[in-house]
Amino acid sequence: ITVFDTSPSLFSVLLDYLYCGRLDTGSFSVDQLADLMLLADRYEVDSLKTACEHGLSTHIDHDSVLYFLSMGDQFNAKHLRSSCLNFISQNPDIMDSELFEELPQNLQAEIYDLVIWAYPPSKVGDKLSAVQEMTANLQLSQCDAEGEGEVSGQDSARLEACLRALRDVIGEEAASRQQLVQVALAADFDLNRALNFYYSS
């Protein structure tokens, strides 16, 4: 029998697994685990495929994560895919690599969404304090009815619309007008950004 796209030693591992039901993933290289996972997928040996996914997950790093993610997505390896996405959410700088641009568009979009929502709170807090410092330097903390009059007519309408929307979400008495004006200006009148700033402070 001729078996294509695999080596005799790897196919022997598949047969051993079918008879014994055990696999020591630590004794295989990353390339061997990847090839074995593809072989398990081809022959629909789900338990072997899962074991390979878990083995590959221990080798995720900056250099391999996009390769593993692409593989996990292509072969419906849910655990491997999930582990890769989790790693990327904790290391968003991976999106700056050239390999990221080679991923399918739907996968890139999923990663963008994930990183936006899973951005580490400490970094959001750092950015919020930076925004607060900038607004203080601009003397927005002293903003009152007269100060708001300096905002252009179009921006004034946007500010009022943003303030109404913020009050609808957080309640009428939750914050002072001055606090909400600061948040709205820092968020450039974007309700979602303003809510993020408000709740993370």
What residue spans define the domains of the chain? 1-59, 61-120, 153-200
- What DSSP line would sit under the chain, residue for residue? ----SS-HHHHHHHHHHHHH----GGGS-HHHHHHHHHHHHHTT-HHHHHHHHHHHHTT--TTTHHHHHHHHHHTT-HHHHHHHHHHHHH-GGGGGSHHHHHS-HHHHHHHHHHHHHH--HHHHHHHHHHHHHHHHHTTGGG--HHHHTTS-HHHHHHHHHHHHHHHHHH-TTSS-HHHHHHHHHHTTT-HHHHHHHHHH-
What pLDDT was estimated at residue 35?
94
What pLDDT was estimated at residue 147?
43
CB 95 within 8 A of CB 88: yes
| Spatial CB neighbours of 56, under 8 Å, sequence gap ≥ 6 | 30, 33, 34, 37, 68, 80
This prediction's pTM? 0.56
Would you identify the CATH topology of the domain 153-200?
Helicase, Ruva Protein; domain 3 (1.10.8)
For residue 42, how many other CB atoms are within 10 A of its CB?
14
What pLDDT was estimated at residue 141?
39
What pLDDT was estimated at residue 172?
79
Tens of pLDDT, residue by residue, the chain (201 residues): 777 778 888 999 999 999 998 888 889 999 999 999 999 999 999 999 999 999 999 999 999 999 999 999 999 999 999 999 999 999 999 998 889 999 999 999 999 888 887 665 555 455 556 666 665 655 443 444 444 444 556 677 888 888 888 888 888 777 888 888 888 888 888 888 888 878 776
